[in-house]
Structure 1
Amino acid sequence: MCIQTNHYEKSLNFYKELLGFELISECPNFHNRNFNSWLRLGEFYIELQTGKAGESLGNLNPNTQGIVHLCLWVEDLVNEVKKFKQLGFGFILKDGQEIYHVENGGLCKLIAPEGTIIELRDNRGI
């Protein structure tokens, strides 16, 4: 999955420090982009890149075809939500709640620095 960002350092920190991805490769000045990097979480990889020189990327539209959000399973959803709230990240609420019940557990959706919707899920319920 490739994620483009206008805020490379914030996005890189988000995926590494907050979601636990490992930076595998960081390529500066990659085909007219400031950065093109690869991050890994287990066997899952993300390509994180900036727009091309002079390009300002538009916002993600959650009502589009193709990839809508990135879903990750976590051990303790309640503590993850507390962590992200303390850091000032925004959430997509359902019925006024950050965490809500779905089949097989709970979930929340937060917004990454570049606008990607990140769904965090657990199977412990609420």
Structure 2
Amino acid sequence: MTEKYVHHICIQTNTYSETIKFYTEVLGFELVQESPNFHGRLFNTWLKLGSFHIEIQTGKQHEELEACHSNAQGIVHFCLWVDDLNQEVARLKEKGVKFIYKNNEIIYKVENGHLCKFKAPEGTIIEIRDNKGI
């Protein structure tokens, strides 16, 4: 049997430039390939972080995409594992990231650890966590 793993997720956006800047400059993804005029879309772009890829695409030309929200079916968020959650939160605050608070806290306890969440410019909810206690 061949090895199976998640290769990528695809995120569509109405805010292409802001989204690319956020994932590369704030979260540290590498821009791998940017394809303009891709099958009726202004852009289809590949980013990677380690072996994880994100495909960023605009809607088809003259199409305004609906906003995503956490009460929808399908993928609700994706999670990035970090070495030190407190250190990463401090770094992201310096970059101007706005966090999603729970019980008036940025970092909160859940089963098996601690986490926090924030939204990317296009509305994707991103969770970060580590395996250390607070």
> Is the radius of gyration larger for structure 1 or structure 2?
2
Q: Distance in 2 between matches of 1:46 and 1:110?
A: 17
TM-score normalised to the size of structure 2? 0.87
Partner of 1:103: 111
Distance (Å, rounded) in 1 between the aligned partners of 2:122 and 2:28: 17
Taking only the aligned residue pairs, the percentage that are identical comes to 60
AA aligned to 1:107 is L
Contact 2:69–2:123 (8 Å) recurs in 1: no
Secondary structure of the 1:15 match is helix
**Which structure 1 segments of 5+ residues have no match?**
none
Q: Higher mean Cα deviation, 106-115 or 96-105?
A: 96-105
The corresponding residue for 2:3 is none
1:2 aligns with: 10
Count the aligned residue pairs.
126
Unaligned 5+ residue runs, structure 2?
A: 1-8
Q: CA deviation at 1:76?
A: 1.6
Cα pair 1:62 1:68 within 8 Å, conserved:
yes
CA RMSD of aligned residues (A): 1.2
Alignment of 1:1-126 (within 5 A): 1-126=9-134
